[in-house]
Amino acid sequence: MDEDAFDHLITGSGYTWFTVMNAYAQVGKLKDVSVFFGNLGCHPGRHCEGFWAGFEDDSDLWTGPRNGMTFGRYNTDNPKLMGPRFEENKYYVVAGRLASGTGTVITDVFVDSAVPYGSVEFPVNPKADASVMAIGTERDAWQHPGQESFDGELVRMLFYERSLSDEEMVKTMAILKKIYFDTASTE
């Protein structure tokens, strides 16, 4: 419940997250915002800052960091990094990575592979102020609980306080696939 515990992940240290998951048909109450985790700091008088991942209503995966420099669900300061459309009742290994550094860095999304499915540039805001981490929804959204939650199963969530190297991505993806699918990746 520490409001500042995740700030450093979007202000320069970078991050990597992995999840093993199965997404059901999305029946969210906010169009195209069915979120499976997030730590958006949407404080009064500030723009939302943090990182999150979820699905559009048609089960297209998306993720992205938000730097709080401008408001807008998706724009240059709040990129929407798209992944594939998920099939129901199928499990996937999904990962996101934000490179370390200040200025403009790269953020990636991965699906069942250590090769990025997509990448975009992200302008880091060293003054960004994220919030607590919420699993199954975008944030500790007490003013509208359940409005942006996803429908599905999260088997495992891993968060790293840095950007893993390409080699570490290969190893971690292979380990998760071996544990959960009994097929080691050779990528």
Give the tens place of pLDDT for each residue, 118-156: 999 999 999 998 888 888 766 655 555 556 778 899 999
pLDDT at 183: 55
Residues 13 and 19: their CA atoms lie apart, in Å, by: 20
Q: Is the dihedral of CA 163, 169, 171, 172 positive or negative?
A: positive
Confidence of residue 42 (pLDDT cuts 50, 70, 90): confident
43-55 pLDDT per residue, tens: 777 778 899 999 9
Question: What's the rounded mean pLDDT across residues 21-27?
Answer: 89
Architecture of the domain whose range is 7-181: Sandwich (2.60)
- Cα→Cα distances 183→35, 112, 175, 180, Å: 28, 11, 9, 8
Q: What is the pTM of this model?
A: 0.90
Strand order in the sheet with 15-23: 118-123, 104-111, 91-98, 15-23, 152-160
Every domain of the chain and the residues it spans: 7-181
Q: How many CB atoms lie within 10 A of CB 121?
A: 12
pLDDT at 171: 98
Mean pLDDT, the chain, integer:
87
